[in-house]
Amino acid sequence: MSRPLTIAEISEAVRSGKMTARKITETTLDILKQQDSSIHSVTKLLAKEALAQADAIDALRSAGKPLPPLAGVPFGVKDLFDVAGHVTTAGSIVLNDTLPAKQDAPVVKRLKDGGAILVATLNMDEFAYGFATENSHYGTTFNPRDTSRMAGGSSGGSAATVAAGFLPLALGSDTNGSIRVPASLCGVWGLKPTFGRLPREGAYPFSASLDVVGPFAANLSDLATAFHVMDGTPAAPEPKISDLRIARLGGWFATNLTSSCQKALDRACDALDVKQTVELPEVAIARACSFLITAAEGGNLHLPRLRRVAAQYDPATRDRLLAGALLPADTYLQAQRFRRWFRDQVHALFREKADVLIAPSVMCEAPRRDDPTVMVDGKSVSARAYLGLYTQPLSLPGLPVLAAPLINPDGLPLGLQLVAAPGKEASLFAVARELEKSGVCGYSKPELACL
């Protein structure tokens, strides 16, 4: 068992001739074929296309031509991204009869143009509606840290395959926490970029006014590298930590934490010498509005198809979509009005008090699959409904949020959210680097074989 190779190590090995892109791709495909049955992260292997792309990269090197920055780096995508020549299922059988995609989703194309090799599509909650990656059509994804535990969702396949060391990079989507929750439970890095910053065309929609797409990686440098390739921009200079005002979110975000999560958050704040605690107003309403907007937009998107083939949906997904479609229009409008007010309050906080906010991603370690509950206000409640307790309110203003894996000496990984004003991803990377350097945040060696 070895540490998984980083993006930089893989691309340098290909560039130097130490390894061929084809060998890396073949090895990756073999690992996925032989070991993914232990966690169920993959829905489809794309071997033919992947090997053809690898051969094209090796041909460039043989011809003495410059190689792109991600040359030979294998990656996977949540099963809602368009992949040319394949039907985009969005984790459902409902779309099986639709035509194959004519082209790759823009962010997928940017990664492939950068030399990364797409090897697989990855499991998810049906139509991205859930925090569990329990899929009645494609199975449940297990947490590689402990396969008796939940991987989180809805991008659970993406987080799990990186956590297992199978792939150094995977793509997911985040509406109310679907990158941040599984990244935290599986112990990897994840990024929900600023709303609208990365193109989401070619990613099957859930909630049009909240959806974003973003990467997962085993280390922070890989995450930042992938983000900038997807963004089509050079890496922006990162500010000095000493120039950033960092504050801890209190109130809502300081309740319902397990003792291990509380201790890990304290260590992170101590490492950054955080002295200031701030609160956001009306966070409970913000979470409720995220629920309402998601339900209404998702329900109305699916309503025409539900009228025809409702029985083909996962029952849990179907019922929530139908409930959302029945919400009165004025309820949705009131939620959007509150959203504008809440966004203004958050922006004012960034202007006046802080550049980066620290909050938990989840309240505890990954729940057991045979007891999928968490404790909230002293009661045992559904994990699927409450794992987004801290992520949902922070989705509403469209902010960039970096999910950092908190090292937990007492057990499984925990999760931290670093939050900044729109467009300030560079500030998040700067703070995260300090946490990684201090040993508070990071990726632990997987128990499964890796590249």
- Residue 232 pLDDT exceeds 60: yes
**CB of 223 closer than 8 Å to CB of 217:** yes
Residue 1 in this model has a pLDDT that exceeds 50 = no
Are residues 211 and 285 part of one domain?
Answer: no
Output the domain CATH number for residue 39: 3.90.1300.10
Report residue 447's pLDDT band, with 50, 70 and 90 as the boundaries. low
The CA–CA distances, whole Å, from 155 to 30, 133, 179, 193, 203 equal 23, 7, 6, 15, 13
d(CA 210, CA 213): 10
Per the annotation, the verdict on 92 as an active-site residue is no
Q: At residue 295, does pLDDT exceed 50?
A: yes
| One domain, residues 278 and 317 | yes
Please name every residue paired with 150 in a beta bridge, in sequence order, or none if there are none: 142
**Direct distance between the N- and C-terminal alpha carbons of the chain, in angstroms, rounded to an integer:** 10
Residues 261 and 191 in one domain: no
Same domain for 180 and 73, yes or no, is yes
Checking if the pLDDT of 450 tops 90, the result is no
Q: Which of 213, 231, 249 is the last residue of a domain?
A: 231
Both 107 and 213 in one domain: the answer is: yes
Tens-digit pLDDT profile for residues 10-43: 999 999 999 999 999 999 999 999 999 999 999 9
In a domain, 444, yes or no: no
Q: Per-residue pLDDT tens for 355-385?
A: 999 999 999 999 999 999 999 999 999 999 9
pLDDT at res. 2: 54
Same domain? 149 vs 275: no
Residue 410: per-residue pLDDT: 83
Q: Measure the CA–CA gap between 415 and 407, rounded to whole angstroms.
A: 8
Whether 216 is covered by a domain: the verdict is: yes
Domain that holds residue 295: 241-438
The whole-number average pLDDT for the span 82-109 is 97
155 in active site: no
- List 41, 78, 361, 424, catalytic entry: 78
Within a domain: residue 450? no
**What residues have CB less than 8 Å from 138, skipping those under 6 apart?**
40, 43, 79, 91, 123
Q: Is the pTM of this model over 0.95?
A: yes
Which pLDDT band holds residue 409 (cuts at 50, 70, 90)? confident
Among 180, 201, 231, identify where a domain stops.
Answer: 231
- Residue percentage of the chain with pLDDT more than 70: 98
Please give the sequence-ordered ranges of beta strands (E in DSSP) within 206-245, or none if there are none: 212-217
User: Looking at the predicted structure, is the pLDDT value of residue 449 above 60?
Assistant: no
Give the per-residue pLDDT at 3: 67
* pLDDT value at 291 more than 50: yes
Antiparallel, parallel or unpaired: β 276-278 and 414-420: unpaired
Q: What's the rounded Cα separation, in Å, for the pair 416 and 444? A: 15
- Residue 196 maps to a domain: yes
Asked if residue 200 is part of any domain, the answer here is yes
Q: What is the CA radius of gyration of the chain?
A: 21
339 and 392 in a single domain? The answer is yes
Domain count, the chain: 2
Catalytic, out of 158, 178, 290, 427: 178
Picking from 178, 201, 231, the residue at the C-terminal end of a domain is 231
* Active-site pick, 154, 158, 173, 184: 154
| Per-residue tokens: 388 | 């987004």
**Does 319 share its domain with 402?**
yes
Active site residue 154: yes
Same domain, 372 and 415: yes
Give the number of C-alpha atoms closer than 13 A to the C-alpha of residue 438, restricted to the C-beta side.
20
Are 218 and 349 contained in the same domain? no
